[in-house]
Amino acid sequence: MQQLPLEDLLVIELASVLAGPAVGAFLAELGATVIKVENLQGDVTRTWLLPEEKPKDGISAYFSCVNWGKKSIALDLKYPEGKAILNELLQRADILITNFKPSSARRLGFAYEQIAHLYPHLIYGEITGYGNQEERVGYDAVLQAESGFMYLNSSPEGNPQKMPVALIDLIAAHHLKEGILLALYNRQKTGLGTKVSCSLLHAAITALANQATAVLFANYTPEPLGTEHPSIFPYGTLFYTQENKPILVAIGNDEQFSTFCQILQIPEIAQDPQFATNPRRVQNREILRPLLAEKIKLFHFDTLLYALHQNQIPAGAVHTVNEALALPQVTPLLLHSPIGKGLKTIAFETPLLANTDLPPPPKLGEHTQEILQEWLFYEESTFLKLKNKGIIQ
């Protein structure tokens, strides 16, 4: 089996839902041992079931997407005994991942400033909604609305639309993962841990990229364009073929546009001064779009897509998620459970670095007894006493 980059690290995950657990999933795929500390009710996403799903051991599709390869211990941190168990784990840990509200972390006694002196080697990874000074809980859908994404993610005549995945959560997770990896690199040199913090708002605003820069650099006001791009045309534009099947093109430069027009058998369009350069095409998109649409409507879908690909013109079919998962390039990204029957999910990390043969997501408290007795050397009688008192599960 391949040597994994982080296989000697212990990660304690106090986070729930998506952003924080996604960081734990990244690290588990890279070889780290990740202990997911849940309350006695479990991560709420265990109950987020599709109508087609049947509850099975508290593992939903949503929970499954970011919890492969982890161990679950269920603790009630309101009890001193529960906090003591967590403190014993932190003595061994390299990384702690949290997504508490600032006041909740302090109330539990696990804010960074409360434990940093106890575990100077610990890297404390924290995701908040709006930063350490703001008590609001961060929810991806709300952040999509507040950051401008929903406004832009619509057609000019349509209503604002939320993206169909919690993309802000996932962007924040990548931000925090990057910070944690840099902190690990720094710890190799200094021997000291540190706090790494990321907010959903910060992640969302930075992800606005060129749309935000257009405001700051050019005093431009971004407006909804549907799938299209504000400064490139035709880029992200949908056209329909003879079968009324959608095809998306993403022309990035004048040479591509010239070749595109040759394929469509309208080379004169690329020579027209109105359309010969990208700035002119952007300026005259309302004139150019119907000219291209009329010609594309004459082509069969497969014939046109093949010709575009053969000539290195960026274009693609509009796939369903099922169709996308069936692409041959996706196969190496699938995590297959060696234990469960037919359980699969998508890996976050490249298969060249990651373990794609991880155990399936854990049941709530599945590893509580193992961790207490085999890792922390609790007597069985102590384990049973804690369980009977409702402190662990």
Three-state DSSP string of 258-304: HHHHHHCCCHHHHHCCCCCCHHHHHHCHHHHHHHHHHHHCCCCHHHH
CA 324 to chain centre: 17
Q: How high is the pLDDT of residue 156?
A: 85
**Interatomic CA distance for residues 62 and 65, integer angstroms:** 6
**Interatomic CA distance for residues 165 and 61, integer angstroms:** 13
Using CA atoms, how far residue 95 sits from 70, 73, 120, 326, in Å, is 14, 16, 11, 36
Strands 334-336 and 344-346: antiparallel
| Structural class in CATH, domain 235-318 | alpha beta
Query: Which string of b and e fits 146-174 if b means at least 16 CB within 10 Å?
Result: bbbbbebbbeeeeeebbeeebbbbbbbbb
What are the structure tokens assigned to 131, written together? 């930063």
Q: How high is the pLDDT of residue 359?
A: 84
- Residue ranges of the domains in the chain? 10-207+329-388, 235-318
pLDDT in tens, the chain (393 residues): 568 889 899 999 999 999 999 999 999 989 999 999 999 999 999 999 988 888 677 888 899 889 999 999 999 999 999 999 999 999 999 999 999 888 888 999 999 999 999 999 999 999 999 988 888 889 999 999 999 999 999 888 889 999 999 999 999 999 999 999 999 999 999 999 999 999 999 999 999 998 898 889 888 888 888 889 999 999 999 999 999 999 999 999 999 999 999 999 999 999 999 999 999 999 999 999 999 999 999 999 999 999 999 999 999 999 998 888 888 888 777 776 555 555 677 777 666 666 667 888 999 999 999 999 999 999 999 999 999 999 998
Q: What is the DSSP letter of 55?
A: -
**Interatomic CA distance for residues 98 and 165, integer angstroms:** 21
**Interatomic CA distance for residues 212 and 200, integer angstroms:** 16
Specify whether the backbone of 362 is left (phi greater than 0), alpha (psi in -120 to 50) or beta: beta
Using CA atoms, how far residue 34 sits from 48, 83, 168, 212, 219, in Å, is 22, 18, 23, 36, 46
Indicate if 235-318 has the same CATH topology as 10-207+329-388: no
CB atoms within 10 A of CB 210: 11
Contact criterion met (CB below 8 Å) for 361 and 59 = yes
**Interatomic CA distance for residues 122 and 114, integer angstroms:** 13
Q: How high is the pLDDT of residue 349?
A: 67
Q: How high is the pLDDT of residue 53?
A: 86
Q: Give 293-330 pLDDT, tens digit per residue.
A: 999 999 999 999 999 999 999 999 999 988 888 888 88
Q: How high is the pLDDT of residue 99?
A: 94
Nearest by Cα to 16 from 26, 24, 6:
24
| Structural class in CATH, domain 10-207+329-388 | alpha beta
CA dihedral 174, 347, 33, 66 (to 10 degrees): 70
Q: What is the DSSP letter of 373?
A: I
Query: Which string of b and e fits 101-124 if b means at least 16 CB within 10 Å?
Result: bbeebeebebbbeebeeebeebbb
- SS3 state of residue 391: coil
Using CA atoms, how far residue 297 sits from 165, 234, 251, 255, 291, in Å, is 32, 16, 18, 23, 10
Active site residues: 169
Nearest by Cα to 238 from 221, 230, 224, 226:
226
What are the structure tokens assigned to 51, written together? 């109508």
Using CA atoms, how far residue 198 sits from 92, 117, 128, 203, 334, in Å, is 24, 22, 6, 7, 28
Q: How high is the pLDDT of residue 352?
A: 61
**Interatomic CA distance for residues 21 and 63, integer angstroms:** 9
Q: How high is the pLDDT of residue 351?
A: 62
